[in-house]
Chains A and B, each alone.
Chain A
Amino acid sequence: MKRIWHHPEVKTERRYWRSLGEYSKTPEFAEKLGREFDPALSGMDGESRENSRRDFMKVMGGVAAMAGLASCRRPLEKILPFTKHVEWVIPGKALLYATAMPRPWGATPMVVTTFEGRPTHLQGNPLHASGGGLDIFAQASVLDLYNPDRVKEVSRKGDSVSWSAFQKELRGWNEKSWAKEAGAGLAILVSPGTSPSRAALLNDLLKAYPKASLYSYAPIQSKGEASAVKAILGDGVKLLPKYSAADRVFSLDCDFVGVDAASESGVRDFMKRRAPEKGSDEMNRLYILENRYTLTGGIADHRKPIAASLIPVAAAVLAEEVGKLVGDSALQQMAASLAAAADDKLRKWIAPAAADLFGSKGKSLVLAGARHSEAVHALVLAINQALGAIGSTVLVLKVDSPVTGEITELVADLKAKKVKQLFVLAETDPIYDAPGFAEALKESGAVSVTLAMRQNHTSRQSTWVVPAAHYLESWGDARTSLGAYSIVQPMIQPLFGGVSENDLLLALLSRKQLGPIEIKVAVAPVDPKAPPAAAVAPAAPLPVLSDPSYELVKQTFTKIAGGWDEEKWNLALRDGFLPGTAYEPATGTVDAALVQTLVAKAIKLSPPSKGVFEVVLTADSSVLDGRYIDNAWLQEAPDPITKLTWDNAAWLNPRQFNELGLKADGDKIKVTLAGKEPLVIPAIACPGHASDSVTIPLGYGQTVTSDVGNLRGFDAYALRSDIGELMLADAKIEKAEGTYLLAITQENYTMEGRAQVREGTKERFDLKPDFALTEGMDSHAPPVLSLYKGRTGKKSAENPTGFDYENEHQWGMVIDLSKCIGCSACIVACQSENNIAVVGKDQVAKGRVMQWIRMDRYFSTPDGVADSPSFDDLDNPEMVNQPVACQQCESAPCEAVCPVNATVHTEEGLNSMAYNRCIGTRYCANNCPYTARRFNFFDYNKRNPLIDTEVAGVSMNNLYAGPLGEKKPQEVVQLQKNPNVTVRMRGVIEKCTYCVQRIEEAKINQRRVARDDASKLRVLADGVKTACQASCPSEAIMFGDLANDKSTINSWKASPRNYQVLKYIGTEPRTSYLARIRNVNPKMPDDRTVKTGEASSRLNAF
């Protein structure tokens, strides 16, 4: 009897959807359902398709004939061994080095995989207290090293010159002016950083040239917090939230797991407390007020969208409520005037939250976002003080930061013509992102020297451009957020001869000769025929050339370690950090009077009203402040909220999106601010966005040299009139003409509209821990009985493990939805490990994104959807993330339909893929219920998808130009490829392999060591980590051997929250998920959890 698959989905109280199209069940969306690859998007009408097919046959005939001829002979290949052996290098084996990525807020400890000297992949450093895991930016930074458009030579006014010319110029400045006038006229602009070596150099520089001036600049930085801390707690002090100690967290527009993260371990520490199981640390609770959905908003237990300009009011209300509970009248009073503007709803939302914070006094924490003023940060400090958080959940640490001025002072000095030579060492691009800087520089007539990795706006305007080295190419150091001294060591010689910031500072101090060091060895011409006899004398040993930058780091190390110790140095290099180093705690007490003065200075922002919008500028999830614009992996990684790739757009509330007369995502709006050129930008309807507020991510709209970053998106920096402004009031928004194509991935690869996330409240979990097993179809679907034996074993006395396989390893994966924040670091890690191609905006828009992991972002609203959208529901839906890759089904539907056995099962339970066998029928992809398979429509690795080619006068995307297009692999980018994974060509399917190359490597290593000892053949428990698992900053992914009792994965699989996606269709996936748990506060007025007037209680509200 034929089994009827399409049972009606069981109605639950919540409905999960990924896009507004799905939400309102538009016909377009219904059409898309069930189509693996959308034919409507192929961009051809009937006739052109017919023509192109004919052309295709013509061309392919010729290609096939030539290919046939060419393949008769095997290409001649050469083997080039080293002439002198390189220490530690074993051809074909990876070498791992510990290093750290310097960030504005500190160091990110990491381990670099190198193959024959090429860094290919980054991973968190498990030896470090941060425990491994990398954020998406750190994960993708290896690709920046291989950017073919990096600055490759020194240039002066656009003409390339030699390093010695630059040295000469430096010497000239030194002799003619700095030495005589104590450095007057010398100005240096740096990025904020924590490198002790750089601090020492800057100190030396100020000693040598007392009249030189230093400035520091980052376009998106928390000036409010810095100045509030400086005013209240004093200089040389920083605050660091200690999430591991916080039971209750209240965030005022602070995306601390997303782009506002300022610590290498913050995400991990916070998410560690999200497991609901008893015995572990008790689950924390997070409240958030924000104007747009952020990653932090997504994991929050209670979220309320409010305009960003209302955050000061909300902070004041919170201060008042906390003041009331603690009995701190001073706190109440100082907040009173600001809080008066609050409406009743906001007050009712904050009051129970404040009570909850007070209930966990000493273990609660309040945070404020970077964009807010010092008044907000001062209030938050006072609240934290009242809650007893300072010292327990908020650490006050003594830091050593070099005394530098702000960029505003630099602009003033430039205008006053005090600067003669300006060195821009900052990683950012001040001409692009600092308003007024370009004019000031031009006006001053100063000679500028820019140290740049890639040509940007600043370097193009600057007199001298010096190529910068990547952090994987240079010596350096940094401190982690807690102050652990970490060494940055080079993995490779600078690919394009760049120098680091330290190198340039050393050169300014005349302590280093810049440019390539030429080792001259006299090569006597050798005549192979004549016996050379003793002509070849043993070469004299070369003098050991010591790099001053290396010596500098060693000196700093000596200072910090309290004396030179070779062994300690070697250990620190091996581990990546010096154990036992940390910032000292500072005693911090908040003086109420100081807070009061700051709060009194609060600028009363007029809250937005109907028709008058506020513009919220935010760091972008792909390019941050614009510095990663050239990184193709980041550009193609979908934004975690909007799922937009390759562009930015204005985020609007769906109700107002509709009211403005906008029809679909990509319709343009005009943003007008007083005194500024209006910005025309495509808009996106974002559920959960605050009203009268528009969010625009920064960093786009740059003119750069690379195909990756040039003219992508729209420049929102242009809206700022002041440096550091991240919130602009009184904007006018109106509909503009035209639509812009946005490559949004959220409707691609849907699973037939079956929402497959399971979630519940903590209360529900405590009552019925295994609720996830009986939800949806699983509540009534009969057990799956198969006529075929398949390869799924049953547990029995003879077969205790329950696997019907011969092999001792059985691999499986569990993903904890309670811990997944949706940051997409796994996507980039997978891309880096598995050589996944970048396909470009056009292809993404056609639904051909190649990333093996798809981060599904679901919004959930009450069930029962009308045909027209209910804007009340869309005002504040909930958000859940679910990463989906190949589920490695034990009875896999894809395997049954492959006509050529290209995808088959292995003894270890993997659904393996033999690319060389695949003929590209795509049957497997069509039959995959998880839509986890990707097809190579083009030879993305050989044909650059980012450029246009002109064919017979018609400009078209290079991919479509066929044999007339440019066909050359990008040689520099190729260096990044993992040699242990096949680079796929056109016409084959690919998908997640559970990092089979890592599994095989581990097995082979084990066998190699075991040799004839058969008892040691099994890979050690937890001996294999997949790339996504190793990169996950919140440790939400667990992978391991199910047949090994000692594997941690078995305890995850035994969790009552464990469920399989689409269990009822009987695919028996090896990947399973742990249901998401929300720790809901029953006293909160959120009507999305408590349905009044209905039988359903909060317990089954999800």
Chain B
Amino acid sequence: MGNYFPRWTNWVPLKIAICLGFTVVGVVAAANYYFTPKYTRVGYEPTQPVPFSHKMHVGEIGLDCRYCHSFVEVAGHSNVPTNQTCYNCHGPDRGQIKKESAKLALVREANVSGEPIKWTKVHKAPDYVYFNHSVHVNRGVSCVSCHGQVNEMEVVKQAESQSMGWCLDCHRNPENNLRPLDQITNLNYKPEQLSREEFYRNLMTRGASLQSLGEEISSSKPNKNVANLEALVELAKNTYGPKVTQLEVGKQLKANWKIHATEDCSACHR
């Protein structure tokens, strides 16, 4: 019997094990780095040239988002306001609020020189992604779904990963994020606050039938009882509990507004 294997082969299994160990650590580290939301910058919170506080303006004073982001309902981009918008309140010749504040020096300077203020972009979609704000806010998706509780942010930060997977989560199940159109810019909205009766009445004035609304609540058992609004509300209460839930609102809106959130590539990539 010859000694077929040379001596050094005794160490091969150990070497392999060590290499494997390094590889595994490397893969885990890379996955951790690239596939966790850190890469997509949740929590990214750059300092802006003018310390504008959304918390104060929106949360405390109660400005509507659309006062400054005025084209969000008509254009793909949600515009950053012009200097004139700031000046409506803070201009020495206009609203005169805090007209001498040192924090607003840049705004005053820009007004004279015409040089725009260079805001730092927080939410960035890649160049090959065409996101359109108007179609979302006009069809029941609130600002808060993508941008978080901006009304509570002193400095705006990225609240969601805004990765493609995250987009698709909602496009596949839009009912988790739909809300009535008058609540789009209400960042504190909770479905529980809705009056169930009013919600269904509103849908019916927009042309929904009792039958279809009832079927959407429980399609499994045929509902002969849905003779009027009260019966419908009763049915919803039995199905979803005493308070209005997001799923209830979302499913009804999706069905009645024919929300079809496409998953086609060409929806976002052109």
Contacts and interface: CB of A to CB of B under 8 A. Distances in A.
Nearest to A77: B121
Given A90-B75, A536-B111, A1007 B119 contact: no
Given A81-B82, A1008-B138, A1012-B257, A907 B100 contact: no
B42 to A, nearest CB: 13
Contact of B112 (A524, A997, A1012): A524
A982 B113 contact: no
Interface string B235-267: 000000000000000000100111010101111
Interface stretch (A317-325, A547-555, A714-722, A911-919): A911-919
A531 B104 CA distance: 10
Contacts of A609: none
B7 interface: no
Nearest to B116: A80
B265 A904 contact: yes
Interface residues of A, number: 60
Given A78-B121, A526-B109, A90 B84 contact: no
Nearest to B115: A83
Contacts of A983: 127
Most buried by B among A79, A538, A983: A79
Most buried by B among A534, A914, A1004: A1004
A897 interface: no
B102 A914 contact: no
Contacts of B124: 74, 77
- For the complex, would chain B's binding face be called helix, strand, loop or mixed by DSSP majority? loop
Contacts of A982: 127-128, 269-270
A981 B120 contact: no
Interface stretch (B21-29, B129-137, B169-177, B222-230): B129-137
B138 A1007 contact: yes
B57 interface: no
B179 to A, nearest CB: 12
A981 to B, nearest CB: 6
Interface string B82-114: 111000000011000000111001101111111
Nearest to B76: A92
A1012 B206 contact: yes
A807 interface: yes
Interface in B129-173: 130, 132, 134-135, 138-140
Interface string A975-989: 000001111000000
B206 A906 contact: no
B6 interface: no
A533 B108 CA distance: 11
Contact of A91 (B46, B77, B92, B121): B77
Contacts of B207: 1015
B74 interface: yes
A999 B128 CA distance: 17
A91 B74 CA distance: 10
B172 to A, nearest CB: 14
A91 B138 contact: no
Most buried by A among B81, B82, B140, B265: B265
A1011 interface: yes
Contact of A1000 (B114, B120, B267): B267
A532 interface: yes
Contact of B260 (A83, A807, A997, A1011): A807
Contact of A1011 (B76, B121, B181, B265): B181
Contacts of B18: none
B258 A1017 contact: yes
17 contacts: A74-B41, A74-B124, A79-B121, A81-B81, A81-B117, A83-B111, A83-B116, A91-B77, A523-B112, A528-B102, A907-B264, A908-B264, A913-B266, A914-B265, A997-B270, A1008-B74, A1011-B181
Given A526-B105, A915-B128, A1012-B257, 5 more contacts: A81-B119, A536-B108, A904-B265, A907-B264, A1012-B181
Interface of B: 41, 46, 71, 73-77, 79-84, 92-93, 100-102, 105-106, 108-121, 124, 126-128, 130, 132, 134-135, 138-140, 181, 206-207, 253, 256-258, 260, 262, 264-267, 269-270
Q: 3 closest A-B pairs (Cβ-Cβ)? A: A528-B105, A92-B77, A906-B264
